Structures are given as structure tokens and as C-alpha cells.
Amino acid sequence: MSKVAFLGLGAMGARMAANLVRAGHAVTVWNRSPAATADLTALGATAASSPRAAAAGADFVITMVADDAASRAVWLDDRTGALGGLGKDAVAIECSTVSPAWATQLAAVVTATGAGFLEAPVVGSLPQAQDGKLIILGGGGRDAFDRAQPVLAPLAAAIHHVGPVGRGAVMKLAVNGLLGIQLAAWAEMMGFLGRAGFDGAAALDVLTTLPVASPAAAGYARLMQAGDFAVRFPVDLMAKDFRYATQAADALKSDTPVADATLSVLERAREAGHGAENVSALIRLYTGR
């Protein structure tokens, strides 16, 4: 078993770290709000006072934070950054959904120290994180990918090597883009059906049986109909992912009119005060609920 530092204990990260503890790894955890470490230490993890302290002596350092800015602070802060504690034989693993540009920059900084680097964004939500059934999209060298298997295995139902650093971020943004586009469309059409006099639940009983309904979209549509906006994937984070995706596409001169339109819907939801709610809250733009 390995010594693992896990940095970032939000809803996803806490569940992932717990699975590493249960798998028998020696896990040291850190979170910006220290109270979040209590449940992990009760399971047998050790709490550290900073990312740097957590990384010291670790074989693998895993981060799961909100965005590029949070990742940069966790890794590169002059006083507390994990890079300062990273050993040259360690592997840094970035599981956060970040931009391809930042993933590439971070990889260069990490590998310059002699350490290995793997980007490993995850596909799945809270139930998959809880059950160790996430899908991991690995970007980086094959050596780092192979070395990371023992610590990724307790987290995932499948682990894919999708290419060099940057490809993992691109693939994850594409996944979230496909989801977000569907959810924006479902919210819009459910609003349309409601205005046309349909009972929402009855309409979904038909729509969710049709080939047009992916399992993920159908599940979120049910949450929309139920008015269930409890956070699984907040609007704010979905909007962040669409910003990263459209910026990366612009850099490649790739045209993304549908993603651009979806981002505008997400921004409307944020401006209406729904940013901290689940993406199922997009329905509120069309129903006034």
C-alpha cells in the first residue's frame, strides 16, 4: 500500500479519500476548511496543516478542487503549496476539472522537479464517488499512468488513458459539455410543454422511454420535475466548465455555437441567483419556481 496525500475534501473529494482509506492506503488529508477532515480522521486518515505538509513523504499526491485558481493555490502557493513537499519519486495526480492550459502548465512545473504527473479528471457524481465507481480519464505519460493504478483503482469502475497531458481535461470538458447541452435543452422543452398545458410528470413518463433520452438527462429531468435542486453538480461549476471548454475551443479555432448558447443559459441561471443550486435548477428559468 502507498502513502497518499489527498487535497480537497468537498463532496466528491471526501468520498474519494474515504475509499482510499478503506482500501488500506496510508492517507493524509488537507482541506481549506479544516473541519472537513474530521470524518476522514475518524476513518483512520491523518490530517495535515497545509498541502505542503500533506505532500511531504507521500508516494502520490491527489488534488480534487473547484477550478484552475484553487488548483494553482494548492500546488504552487509560495508558503503552503504541495509542490514544495513533493518528492522526486512521487506522482502528482490532478483529479479536478481544470482547463487544458492549466493542466499542461502544472505538468511542466511538476515534472521539472523530477516528479511524475498525471491528470485524472473523473466522470460521475456523488453516488459513483461513494461507491468507487467513477470513470477516470487519464492524461499523461504511460509510466505515470501505470504507476498510479493502485491508488486510482479504489476510486473507479474504469480508468482510461486518453493521451498526453491536456487530453484528459479536453475529454472531461467534452463530457460535461454534452451533459450541459442536454440539460439546457430538457429544461427549455419542459418549460415549453408546461406552457402548452402538459402535466410534467406524465410528459416525462413518455419522453424518458424514448431514444432521445439519455439516462443522465432523464435522471436530471426527473429532478427538474420534482423541484429537487439539492446540490450534486452546481450551476456555478457547470458554467465554469463551459467557460473552460469554449476558451479551449477558441484557442483551437473550433466553432462551438451550441456550447456558447448553453453557457449563456447557465450564466442567466447564475444571474437569477441559482448558481449554488444543482443544474436541475435550470428549469426555474422557464417555470418561475
pLDDT tens track for 192-248: 999 999 999 999 999 999 999 999 999 999 999 999 999 999 999 999 999 999 999
Q: What is the pLDDT of residue 157?
A: 98
Yes or no: say if 135 and 156 are a contact pair by the CB < 8 Å rule: yes
Q: What is the pLDDT of residue 194?
A: 96
Please tell me whether residues 155 and 206 are part of one structural domain. Answer: no
Among the candidates 148, 163, 178, a domain finishes at 163
Among the candidates 145, 163, 181, a domain finishes at 163
Among the candidates 140, 163, 186, a domain finishes at 163
Please tell me whether residues 244 and 274 are part of one structural domain. Answer: yes
The pLDDT tens digits of the residues spanning 174-190 come to: 999 999 999 999 999 99
Please tell me whether residues 17 and 149 are part of one structural domain. Answer: yes
Backbone angles phi, psi at 6, to 5 degrees: -120, 120
Please tell me whether residues 159 and 19 are part of one structural domain. Answer: yes
pLDDT higher than threshold 80 for residue 146: yes
Please tell me whether residues 9 and 120 are part of one structural domain. Answer: yes
CATH number of the domain that residue 99 is part of: 3.40.50.720
Please tell me whether residues 108 and 185 are part of one structural domain. Answer: no
Please tell me whether residues 224 and 120 are part of one structural domain. Answer: no
pTM score of the predicted model:
0.95
The pLDDT tens digits of the residues spanning 251-261 come to: 999 999 999 99
> In which domain, by residue range, is 83 found?
3-163
In whole angstroms, give the CA distance from residue 286 to residue 194.
9
Please tell me whether residues 75 and 153 are part of one structural domain. Answer: yes
Please tell me whether residues 200 and 85 are part of one structural domain. Answer: no
The pLDDT tens digits of the residues spanning 28-39 come to: 999 999 999 999
Q: How many domains does the chain have?
A: 2
Task: List active site positions.
Answer: 172
The pLDDT tens digits of the residues spanning 46-79 come to: 999 999 999 999 999 999 999 999 999 999 999 9
